[in-house]
Each structure stands twice: as structure tokens, then as C-alpha cells.
Amino acid sequence: MSLKKTNPTSAKAWNALGDHHKEIENTQLKDLFASDKDRAKKFTLQSQGFFVDYSKNNITSETKGLLLDLAKEVGLKDAIKKYFDGDIINETEGRAVLHTALRAKKGDDIKVDGENVMPEVYTVKAKIKTFTEAIISGHKKGYTGKAFTDVVNIGIGGSDLGPAMVTEALKFYGNHLKMHFVSNVDGDHVYETLKGLDPETTLFVVVSKTFTTQETLSNATTIKKWFLKHASQKDVAKHFAAVSTNTAKIEEFGILDENVFPMWDWVGGRFSLWSAVGLSIALAVGYENFDSLLMGANEMDEHFRTADFEENIPIVLALLSVWYNNFYGAETEAIIPYSQYLSRFSAYLQQGIMESNGKSVDRNGERVSYETGTIIWGEPGTNSQHAFFQLIHQGTKLIPADFIGFKDSLHGDTDHHNKLMANFFAQTEALMNGKTKEEVRGELEGKSMSKSELEALLPFKVFEGNKPTTTILIDKLTPKSLGALIALYEHKIFVQGVVWNIYSYDQWGVELGKQLATTILKDIENSEIANHDASTMQLLHYFKS
Ligand code: F6P
């Protein structure tokens, strides 16, 4: 069964939200706190060691009520059921969307085309366990009998970003294996990676759902050639593993069956780190930690599936984002993790969120008349404070931001952690409260400057405040909490797609550029250049000259 196709602008709640926005758009967060001593508590959610304080958002109880009404009107409850039941909700590709099955319990019964997929999921998990344990323990060796020291993941998009982000995020839990990621078709990436590697002790994992992606196949071929300069064809079997739905193509590449890890077309690339695409994660941190990551996600799935809408973290965060996107006209959202380990988190979510919800045609095939996918960006705090926070504090744009932090530090250095977290809390407080003219005047009056100098400087030092933030405070960065955090954002994506009446799980928008690149590659390699627009023609001639 497909998802309901409700234009959100026809919902009663949508129109009520429009009116409500006009009433409260100039309300100051400071005043909302002053008039309700329970506000912080009222707008806080807790589950699985997540403390989510969304009280510093430009909302009232009425806003929340209307947003929840909107979710009900567009049929979110029914949509969630279809998502978890494996219905064909990715209609334009005719597929179910079941990354949740990859982290479901062994005994669960999740059907695709009438067949329970769980036995297959667990067979592949068992294969991942056996393979990764043999590599980590040194039981499986390279072609000269040495244990592996390095692993290179060759993939791009979802076949790179998820494993790379998680491997970095869980570095604390890592073992002796050094992880490398090659994604860009830019030869500099692959050659720079190979520079320090020893073919005798390096394992290559080729990850591509389709096994047709230009970047991945080019990099894998270059790496194989490099490897064969040192070893012989039969040694490829020992040093190459592959993850794909396209097992025939893998065979052509010469990878042994025992090193081939299947996946399924009901797993979207950007949601695939829970499948064998996460092989590099399991190699980096061990199978037990990989499994904990999955179990953390499973707990968030259960929360999302069963918690009431008003208590439901992914639903509330998704609706807040709809509020800013569609009623305040906010174009971007920042995601600021206060953890260096999460340095790739925003980049990872850029694919998850923007490839999913960057759509302008609704589920009826009509051009939408409202805004959809938000632009996602961010870098870890505190570095980002010294880079782009100026614009968030004093620029002209409204940028709702998620602040993600952890109560406990992994290395246990209280001095560092307290400083980090002091900044974490200070920023959301500063963004909300700002600094008034009077406060600035009070500060400047103590300084040795004339009255006119003071008045001239004053406007530049004022902070308007009233900038919305959501604080996600998690007990500790563990495989489990990371799994839950990623799943939280995955479900947020889903809810937004349901509200916006778009298909979140296809990505036709990446096709055109790929098609043209194929034509242009021929133009570059052949003497003739096909017909292009005048600018492209000029550029190609200049490039070839
Ligand atoms: O960028 C488009 C895309 O299809 C992504 O959705 C996907 O994650 C990536 O390319 C890589 O695809 P594959 O895993 O098939 O190589």
C-alpha cells in the first residue's frame, strides 16, 4: 500500500499554523520563558539516555498542538506503519524502505513481497561477524602470510559517508586496524591514500549497492592495478572484499564468493550503514560494537514507532523543522556536534537529508507550491564558534540549530570536557538571550572611551537574540547512543517527507549530471566534441587545448 497523498497546504492545521505564525513571529523567547516557569520542562523529551530540550525554539503550546494536528491530518500514523511494515513507499523505484529491518531483532517477522527478510539479514550479519573477527584476530592473512594492518573502503555517497562518519565517531572503540576511505574519482584521492600503504597487509573493501558507480569502479580498478604490481591475480581473492546487490558484477571483478556481502534493493544507499555496507565499521570497532550500534538504532525505532506523537523525539524535531522551513522561511539548519568524534556527522546528514527531501514534485506528480528539503550544514563546536557563528549570532538569516553534546567525555579529562560543555551551553543561551543596547552600554561605560565613541560602537555590539536552538544532550558517545542518534535523524527525514507529500527515498536528481558526464568524457577522450551550449563548448575547448 502506498502513502497518502495529502497536499499539506490543504490541511486545516497548515492554515491555522499560518495564522498562528503571524501572531507569534515577533514573540521573544526570553518573554516566553519569563511568563512560564515550567517552559523548559514542558518542552523537554527524554528517552534512551537522550535529554532533548527544545524549549529554546520559537514555539508555544499552541504551536506544538497545531504541528501535531498537521502530522495527524497528513496521515503520519498510518505512514509509520507502512514504513515499518515494508510497504512499497518508495513508489517511484517500486521498493520498500526497510533499513529498520537491518537492526531489527532476530525473531521479528518483516516481510518484503510476502517473505520474511530477517533470516537473510541475520545470515549476512553472521558472515560479517566471522569475516571481521578473522581479519581483526589476524587469523585471515594477506598473500605473504602477514596479518592485516590497514583497511581501505572504496565507495561513494552512502557507500562511503556512513562508514566514514561512524568509523570516525567510534574511533575511541577502535582496534589496531587503520581505516582509510577512498571516494572521489579525483585520482589524487586514491594515489594519496595508496602512498603509505603496504599491499601485503592491506585489505580493500569495495562497496557499491549497484556496482556500476563510476567513481567506485574507477578507484577499485586503479587499486587492483596497483596491487597487481606487487602481487599476482590469485592474491586478489585474499585482499579484496565487496558489498553489493549486484553479485554478478562482483564476480567479474574477481572477488571470491566468501568475501562477497550481499545487500538488498529495499535498503537505500544513504541508509545502508546498518547493512554489510558497514563492514568497515565492524572491522574498525569489532562486531560487538557494530551490533550495539544496530541495537541503539533499534531502540530509537521502537521509540519512534510506539511513543505518542507529543513524546516522540523524531516527530517533534521534524515538526519544528517544518515550522521554521514553511512558516518562518528558514532555508538552512545547522547541526553542531560538540564532539570532535562527530566531525563528519553534518556531512553525513547532508546526504541523508538533502538527497532524501530535496524534491520539488509531490506524490501526485505535481510541482509543490511550498518549500521542502532544508539545507543542512555544520561543523563541530567549538571550532565552528571561531568560524561561522558570527553569522548565526548577528547575521540577517534565521538558522535553527541542533546542538548535540555528551554528559561524559570518553577520555575522562574533566578540565577539557567542562570547557567544551561550558561553550555548548553558553552558545544556546547567547543565541536566545542576545545582548541588549542597555547591557552593551553598561559594559562600555566601564571602559575609557568618550560618550560619542561609545554610542558609535554600541550598535555593533548588540545581539538581537531570539535565535532558535534545540539541545540534544546524550549520556555518552557509545556505539549504542550513536546508533540511536543516527536513527533519530533518519526518522526525522521520514516524517518531513510525509508532511511535505514527497518521495524521500528516490534520488533522480543525481542522474542528469551523471548522464552528461558520460557524454563529456567521450568529448574529452575523442577528437570531436559533441554539441553543447556555448559556455560548455568554450570550456571544453580550453580544457583540451
Ligand atoms: O549519489 C547518488 C547515489 O546513488 C547515492 O544515493 C548512493 O549512496 C551513491 O550514489 C553510491 O551508489 P552505489 O552504492 O550504488 O555505488
Q: Are 333 and 397 in contact (CB under 8 A)?
A: no
Q: Which of 349, 332, 309 is nearest to 495 (CA)?
A: 309
Per-residue pLDDT tens listing for the chain (545 residues): 789 999 999 999 999 999 999 999 999 999 999 999 999 999 999 999 999 999 999 999 999 999 999 999 999 999 999 999 999 999 999 999 999 999 999 999 999 999 999 999 999 999 999 999 999 999 999 999 999 999 999 999 999 999 999 999 999 999 999 999 999 999 999 999 999 999 999 999 999 999 999 999 999 999 999 999 999 999 999 999 999 999 888 888 889 899 999 999 999 999 999 999 999 999 999 999 999 999 999 999 999 999 999 999 999 999 999 999 999 999 999 999 999 999 999 999 999 999 999 999 999 999 999 999 999 999 999 999 999 999 999 999 999 999 999 999 999 999 999 999 999 999 999 999 999 999 999 999 989 899 999 999 999 999 999 999 999 999 999 999 999 999 999 999 999 999 999 999 999 999 999 999 999 999 999 999 989 999 999 999 999 99
Q: Which residues contact residue 162 at a Cβ distance below 8 angstroms, ignoring those fewer than 6 apart?
A: 270, 272, 273, 277, 278, 348
Q: Which of 504, 499, 502, 541 is nearest to 523 (CA)?
A: 541
Query: What is the C-alpha to C-alpha distance for residues 488 and 318, in angstroms, rounded to an integer?
Result: 10
Query: What is the C-alpha to C-alpha distance for residues 320 and 261, in angstroms, rounded to an integer?
Result: 39
Catalytic residue ranges: 355, 386, 514
Atom of ligand 1 nearest to the CA of 159: 14
pLDDT at res. 1: 74
pLDDT at res. 357: 98
Q: Are 54 and 470 in contact (CB under 8 A)?
A: yes
Atom of ligand 1 nearest to the CA of 355: 6
The CA 254 to ligand 1 mean position distance, Å, reads 22
Question: For the whole model, what pTM was predicted?
Answer: 0.98
CA dihedral angle for residue 72, residue 75, residue 78, residue 79, rounded to 10 degrees: -120
CA dihedral angle for residue 175, residue 151, residue 194, residue 232, rounded to 10 degrees: 130
Q: Which of 49, 45, 47 is nearest to 477 (CA)?
A: 49
Query: What is the C-alpha to C-alpha distance for residues 440 and 65, in angstroms, rounded to an integer?
Result: 37
Query: What is the C-alpha to C-alpha distance for residues 392 and 512, in angstroms, rounded to an integer?
Result: 34
- Nearest protein CA to atom 2 of ligand 1, as residue: 510
pLDDT at res. 253: 85
Query: What is the C-alpha to C-alpha distance for residues 92 and 363, in angstroms, rounded to an integer?
Result: 9
C-alpha to C-alpha distances, 124 to 151, 183, 271, 359, nearest whole angstrom: 20, 24, 17, 33
Residue to mutate, 90, 99, 153, 156, ligand 1, most ligand atoms under 8 Å from C-beta: 156
The CA 162 to ligand 1 mean position distance, Å, reads 12
- Nearest protein CA to atom 6 of ligand 1, as residue: 269
Give me the sign of the Cα torsion angle 434, 438, 444, 449.
positive
Q: How many residues does the chain have?
A: 545
Q: Which residues contact residue 23 at a Cβ distance below 8 angstroms, ignoring those fewer than 6 apart?
A: none
Query: What is the C-alpha to C-alpha distance for residues 145 and 381, in angstroms, rounded to an integer?
Result: 44
pLDDT at res. 2: 87
The CA 215 to ligand 1 mean position distance, Å, reads 10
- Nearest protein CA to atom 9 of ligand 1, as residue: 157
The CA 209 to ligand 1 mean position distance, Å, reads 7
Q: Which residues line ligand 1 (CB under 6 A)?
A: 156-159, 208-210, 213, 216, 269-270, 355, 507, 510
Indicate the DSSP class of residue 278: G
Q: Are 202 and 190 in contact (CB under 8 A)?
A: no
pLDDT at res. 52: 98
The CA 353 to ligand 1 mean position distance, Å, reads 14
pLDDT at res. 254: 83
Residue to mutate, 510, 511, 515, ligand 1, most ligand atoms under 8 Å from C-beta: 510
The CA 244 to ligand 1 mean position distance, Å, reads 11
- Nearest protein CA to atom 3 of ligand 1, as residue: 157
pLDDT at res. 446: 86
Atom of ligand 1 nearest to the CA of 507: 6
- Nearest protein CA to atom 16 of ligand 1, as residue: 208
The DSSP bridge pattern shows strands 44-47 and 240-244 to be unpaired
pLDDT at res. 247: 84
- Nearest protein CA to atom 8 of ligand 1, as residue: 158
Could you tell me what percentage of the chain is helix, strand and coil, using 3-state DSSP and rounding each to the nearest 5?
Answer: 55, 10, 30
Indicate the DSSP class of residue 361: B
The DSSP bridge pattern shows strands 50-53 and 44-47 to be antiparallel
Residue to mutate, 92, 209, 267, 510, ligand 1, most ligand atoms under 8 Å from C-beta: 209
